[in-house]
Homo-oligomer: A and B are copies of this chain.
């Protein structure tokens, strides 16, 4: 129906059920062993939280994670289940960066930033390496890659990996309509914020402005940006349920949404879509099924 060949990278099946484990694990594995006895700190709306908590657990060190009080319950529960201490804050009135940095300093913890860190970006880039390798095994020649974007670490890492491994693939950032800061910034050639009073069900994609390091990479390597509506994201979740038998969270499904909503034209192309995470509460998933579950 879409007229193109679609390859799906299912990061809901990754450890901690999102790509975030990749960058967190790489960053923590590179901490000087004499430093990291006190552990790590991080701030995150949820997926980086789980990634850092699980990666710290793998390395046998403590983790303190600063999370918004309105994060999905599943993400908070899972972060605690990986053994981390969770500190909640108010997304509207407090700065997660300030709280995270204060805690890291007070307790002598290594701060694991969510995207503006070369070791985190390199870790996320392993997804791009796998994508290129898996496409080769399928004898698929990728024309375009659609990647959900918040701070831009995943897409930057993937673009760096694909620049070498799959140079003819055009890499696109996909964002919610309301959190279009990377799309605006790519168009303007400088870092801009999204519109005021933004709101979206894509809880994982709500960074106000691209990262400094990530944008310097993305401005050079990305082919462009695409945005989708919340309804498009819900329809993508229902599509993944029906046709792939995968649980995809709203922010994780924006790349697929861009195809289904025809915001990105894949006719005659081979397009790799990164479904970047699957941590969604049952109520919201049920809403996606109620509204779009019976569409073929």
Residues of A at the B interface (CB closer than 8 Å) are 12-13, 17, 74, 77, 238, 241-242, 244-248, 278, 281-283, 285-286, 289-290, 293-294, 296
Contact = CB atoms under 8 A, between A and B. Distances in A.
Stoichiometry, as copies per complex, reads 2
Given A283-B293, A286-B290, A245 B17 contact: yes
A77 B84 CA distance: 46
B246 A77 contact: no
A67 B166 CA distance: 45
Contact of A13 (B238, B245, B248): B245
Contact of A247 (B77, B241, B282, B296): B241
A17 B242 CA distance: 10
A179 to B, nearest CB: 23
Contacts of A241: 247, 282, 285
B12 A296 contact: no
Nearest to A296: B77
A247 B278 CA distance: 12
Contacts of A74: 242
Of A77, A248, A286, A294, most buried by chain B (CB within 10 Å of CB) is: A286
Q: Is the interface of A mostly helix, strand, loop or mixed?
A: helix
Given A13-B245, A17-B245, A283-B289, 8 more contacts: A12-B245, A13-B244, A13-B246, A74-B242, A241-B247, A245-B247, A245-B248, A285-B293
Given A77-B296, A296-B77, A282 B246 contact: no
Given A282-B289, A286-B293, A289-B286, A245 B246 contact: yes
Contacts of A238: 282
Contacts of A296: 77
8 contacts: A17-B245, A242-B282, A245-B247, A245-B278, A283-B289, A285-B289, A285-B293, A286-B290
A17 B245 CA distance: 7
A95 B268 CA distance: 46
A4 to B, nearest CB: 18
A290 to B, nearest CB: 6
Q: Which of A17, A245, A282 has the most CB of B within 10 A?
A: A245
Contacts of A246: 13, 245-247
A74 B239 CA distance: 13
